[in-house]
């Protein structure tokens, strides 16, 4: 138990020392970040068993640690700045990034405080068998949860105000209501969510009519796929228009959505009695879960949100790179699932996914990438050289989509998290370097690393089967000739 604490302390010293610019400390910044990430990874794997694979936990903890370290560096830089107003003007164009970083740190703190609030409330009144005692314990937990949420929200807003020297409320009002385009986008989102709620209300009748027309597929499996992929399509309808016409609002909206998801999952997982919210959220979420959500935390909806949001948060000069998650998950992955379920016959070795589904993935992603690159605004394409590698050559598009299709079929990690990162890395590097061939080559190397465990398992299984078959043949030969078995 002491080793992770020691690693956390040493990593914090190195990182904070590098933030003030000391050369000795700066040389150990990378070591400090690595130590922090390893400590966070060990804690997550131990505290939330069966919720993450090791790869997924590594990606999540690395992202949280990097965001925390970057925010700490900004706070130290603000504290040591000679001219606070000049420092605030430096971060004025990037206030949405400050909201994201302060929000992530605040949400991590909130999750920990909620666990403490529930545990202490259960320890004081939860052990009582009397109904009044149980209700009092639930009420104390709810009050403490609301207080923790208010405290963490206030701390996050105060951090944004301190670093940027701006009023967070004024910035939010200007971003949401400052232009007719932003107001129109918000109205479009509200209307779309209202339509989605109406469809969910009538989902039972629709599912019965459609699933009865799909032969050879269990009705429960098809209904689950239909429910899950409907949210992928909703992501496309919401995020593509919003990002193309109001990408700063989209950046901030993803941060708000992440906060809502974390709070809702904390209420569900900890069964916090906020107007019966914990049980109601659990009943709703369980309609969309599968075998990958066996742990105490349901991660599928988080991966869909993060897969769409992370490329937008990272930014870049290519609209296709920023919308990589939306295109891959909202369109291509949905097409792969539906095509594979309807007409899929030939399966990839060692998986339940079909080659026909992969073909649908590749074709859909290629068409979507070309369309988005053509519709991208001038903010992303100031010149022909910076239009992005995806629009530069049809061969580059085909190769990129084909490699991503193989990764989707063979990776053992959650594809909602892996595929957007792979596509963003390839397209963004290609756009920044103004190259056509380097991005797909980079993606090919990343794909090889991603699918290598699956390929090794397939080779090992094939070799073992061949060896077993040869052994049985040898046994039958010796028995036929009445030779002693060795």
Q: Which residues contact 399 (CB under 8 A, 6 or more apart)?
A: 440, 444
Distance of alpha carbon 37 from alpha carbon 39, whole angstroms: 5
The average pLDDT across 229-252 equals 86
**Beta carbons within 10 angstroms of residue 314's beta carbon:** 14
- The reported pLDDT for the residue numbered 484 is 47
- The reported pLDDT for the residue numbered 197 is 75
Q: Whole-model pTM?
A: 0.78
Which of the two residues, 455 and 166, has the higher pLDDT score? 166
The average pLDDT across 436-451 equals 52
**Of the listed ranges 98-107, 148-157, 227-236, 389-398, the one predicted with least confidence:** 389-398
- The reported pLDDT for the residue numbered 260 is 93
The average pLDDT across 179-202 equals 85
Distance of alpha carbon 104 from alpha carbon 448, whole angstroms: 32
- The reported pLDDT for the residue numbered 283 is 81
Length, in residues, of the chain: 486
- The reported pLDDT for the residue numbered 386 is 42
**Of the listed ranges 77-81, 225-229, 413-417, the one predicted with least confidence:** 225-229
pLDDT at 355 > cutoff 70: yes
HSE on the CB side for 284, CA within 13 Å?
14
The average pLDDT across 254-280 equals 85
Q: Which residues contact 153 (CB under 8 A, 6 or more apart)?
A: 106
Encode 273-329 in three state secondary structure: CCCCHHHHHHHHHHHHCCHHHCCCCCCHHHHHHHHHHHHHHHCCCCHHHHCHHHHHH
- The reported pLDDT for the residue numbered 394 is 59
List b or e across 276-303, with b for residues whose CB sees 16 or more CB atoms inside 10 angstroms: ebbeebeeebeebeeebbeeebbbbbbb
Q: List helix spans (H) across 178-218.
A: 180-201, 203-211
Residue 435, class by beta-carbon neighbours within 10 Å (0-12 exposed, 13-18 middle, 19+ buried)?
A: middle
* Mean pLDDT for the chain overall: 75
Q: What residue has token string 């790179």? A: 321
**Of the listed ranges 126-140, 141-155, 354-368, 392-406, the one predicted with least confidence:** 126-140
pLDDT, one tens digit per residue, over 26-42 is: 445 666 677 788 888 88
Which of the two residues, 43 and 211, has the higher pLDDT score? 43
Most confident of 21-25, 102-106, 116-120, 345-349: 102-106
- 8 A C-beta contact, residue 164 and residue 71: no
- The reported pLDDT for the residue numbered 375 is 73
- The reported pLDDT for the residue numbered 306 is 92
Distance of alpha carbon 172 from alpha carbon 253, whole angstroms: 10
Q: Is 377 helix (H, G, I), strand (E, B) or coil?
A: coil
- The reported pLDDT for the residue numbered 445 is 55
Q: What is the dihedral of CA 382, 329, 264, 261, to 10 degrees?
A: -20
The average pLDDT across 294-320 equals 86
pLDDT, one tens digit per residue, over 114-130 is: 888 888 876 555 444 44
pLDDT at 251 > cutoff 90: yes
**Beta carbons within 10 angstroms of residue 393's beta carbon:** 13
Distance of alpha carbon 255 from alpha carbon 266, whole angstroms: 17
**Beta carbons within 10 angstroms of residue 470's beta carbon:** 10
Which of the two residues, 358 and 451, has the higher pLDDT score? 358
- 8 A C-beta contact, residue 436 and residue 396: yes
- The reported pLDDT for the residue numbered 127 is 47
- The reported pLDDT for the residue numbered 203 is 57
pLDDT at 298 > cutoff 80: yes
The average pLDDT across 134-160 equals 84
**Beta carbons within 10 angstroms of residue 127's beta carbon:** 10
Six-digit token string for 59: 């990606």
Q: Is 347 helix (H, G, I), strand (E, B) or coil?
A: strand
Which of the two residues, 24 and 476, has the higher pLDDT score? 476
- The reported pLDDT for the residue numbered 475 is 44
- The reported pLDDT for the residue numbered 220 is 55
Which of the two residues, 438 and 227, has the higher pLDDT score? 227
- The reported pLDDT for the residue numbered 215 is 47
Distance of alpha carbon 418 from alpha carbon 225, whole angstroms: 19
Helices vs. strands in the chain: H and E counts, helices first: 21, 0
Distance of alpha carbon 279 from alpha carbon 270, whole angstroms: 10
- The reported pLDDT for the residue numbered 15 is 46
Phi-psi category of residue 274: left, alpha or beta, with phi > 0 → left and psi -120 to 50 → alpha:
beta
pLDDT at 361 > cutoff 80: yes
pLDDT at 358 > cutoff 70: yes
pLDDT at 266 > cutoff 70: yes
- The reported pLDDT for the residue numbered 309 is 93
Percent of the chain topping pLDDT 90: 19
- 8 A C-beta contact, residue 408 and residue 302: no
pLDDT at 79 > cutoff 80: yes
């Amino acid at each position: 138990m002491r080793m992770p604490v020691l690693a956390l302390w040493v990593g914090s010293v190195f990182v904070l020392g590098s933030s003030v610019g000391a050369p000795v400390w700066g040389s150990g910044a990378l070591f400090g970040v690595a130590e922090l990430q390893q400590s966070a990874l060990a804690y997550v794997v131990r505290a939330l068993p069966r919720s993450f694979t090791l790869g997924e936990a590594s990606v999540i903890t690395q992202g949280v640690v990097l965001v925390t370290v970057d925010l700490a560096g900004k706070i130290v830089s603000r504290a040591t700045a000679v001219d606070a107003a000049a420092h605030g003007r430096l971060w004025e164009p990037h206030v949405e990034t400050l909201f994201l970083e302060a929000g992530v740190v605040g949400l991590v703190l909130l999750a920990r405080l909620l666990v403490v609030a529930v545990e202490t409330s259960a320890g004081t009144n939860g052990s009582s068998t009397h109904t009044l005692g149980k209700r009092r314990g639930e009420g104390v937990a709810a009050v403490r949860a609301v207080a923790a949420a208010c405290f963490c929200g206030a701390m996050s807003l105060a951090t944004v105000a301190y670093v940027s020297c701006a009023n967070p409320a004024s910035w939010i009002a200007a971003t949401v209501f400052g232009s007719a385009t932003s107001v129109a986008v918000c109205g479009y989102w509200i209307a779309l969510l209202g339509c989605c709620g109406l469809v969910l209300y009538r989902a039972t009748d629709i599912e019965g009519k459609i699933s009865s027309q799909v032969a050879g597929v269990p009705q429960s499996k098809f209904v689950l796929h239909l429910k899950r992929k409907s949210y992928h399509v909703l992501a496309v309808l919401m995020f593509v228009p919003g990002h193309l016409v109001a990408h700063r609002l989209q950046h901030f909206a993803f941060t708000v959505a992440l906060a809502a998801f974390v709070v809702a999952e904390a209420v569900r997982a900890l069964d916090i009695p906020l107007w019966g919210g914990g049980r109601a959220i659990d009943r709703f979420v369980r309609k969309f879960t599968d075998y990958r959500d066996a742990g105490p935390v349901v991660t599928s909806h988080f991966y869909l949100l993060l897969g769409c949001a992370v490329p937008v948060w990272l930014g870049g000069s290519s609209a296709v790179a920023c919308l990589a998650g939306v295109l891959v998950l909202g369109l291509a992955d949905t097409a792969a699932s539906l095509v594979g379920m309807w007409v899929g016959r030939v399966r990839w070795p060692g998986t339940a996914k079909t080659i026909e589904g992969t073909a649908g993935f590749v074709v859909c992603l290629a068409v979507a990438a070309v369309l988005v690159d053509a519709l991208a605004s001038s903010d992303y394409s100031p010149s022909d050289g910076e239009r992005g590698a995806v629009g530069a050559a049809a061969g580059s598009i085909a190769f990129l989509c084909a490699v991503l299709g193989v990764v989707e079929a063979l990776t053992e990690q959650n594809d909602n998290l892996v595929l957007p990162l792979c596509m963003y890395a390839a397209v963004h590097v290609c756009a920044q370097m103004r190259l056509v061939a380097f991005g797909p080559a980079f993606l090919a190397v990343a794909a090889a690393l991603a699918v290598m465990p699956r390929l090794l398992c397939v080779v090992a299984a094939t070799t073992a089967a061949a060896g077993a078959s040869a052994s049985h043949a040898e046994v039958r030969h010796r028995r036929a000739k009445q030779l002693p078995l060795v």
